Amino acid sequence: MKEYFTIGEISKLFQVKIATLRYYDEIGLLRPEFIDEKNNYRYYSTHQFDRLNSIKYLRALDLPISEIIDFFNYREIDTLVELLKKQKEEVAKKRGNWS
């Protein structure tokens, strides 16, 4: 199995826009495993797939990027549980407004 993937390949595999992946790199949320100095191509490793899946899941829950960054910086389950509880309350409030 291939170990490194270009940004375009990751974009297609995970259905994430290239611009979004570049933004995640810029803010430090998901940096490429390495960048080729000759052509500036970004390469991601298979080890980063779990992190990208987690980011996608948390974004699908409308969790703000700043809170996702905090979660990855501290990697505490209690933090994640609190973030998800808070987000659940936000979703419930939004649903109440639709009625």
pLDDT in tens, the chain (99 residues): 788 999 999 999 999 999 999 999 999 999 999 999 999 999 999 999 999 999 999 898 888 899 899 888 877 777 777 777 877 787 777 777 654
Report pLDDT for 9. Answer: 96
Query: How many domains does the chain contain in total?
Result: 2
Q: Residue 90's pLDDT is what?
A: 77
How far separated are the first and last CA of the chain, in Å rounded?
Answer: 50
Q: Note the pTM of the prediction, 2 decimals.
A: 0.78
CATH number for the domain including 6? 1.10.1660.10
- Radius of gyration over every alpha carbon of the chain, rounded to an integer in angstroms: 16
**Do both 22 and 8 map to the same domain?**
yes
Whether 32 and 7 have beta carbons less than 8 Å apart is answered as yes
Do 68 and 93 reside in the same domain of the chain? yes
Do 73 and 56 fall into the same domain?
no
- Residue 97 to residues 13, 86, 92, 93, 94, Cα–Cα distance (Å): 36, 17, 9, 6, 5
Residue 97, pLDDT score: 63
- Tell me which residue range forms the domain holding 15: 1-60
Q: Are residues 41 and 68 in the same domain?
A: no
In the block, tokens 């995640």 appear at 24
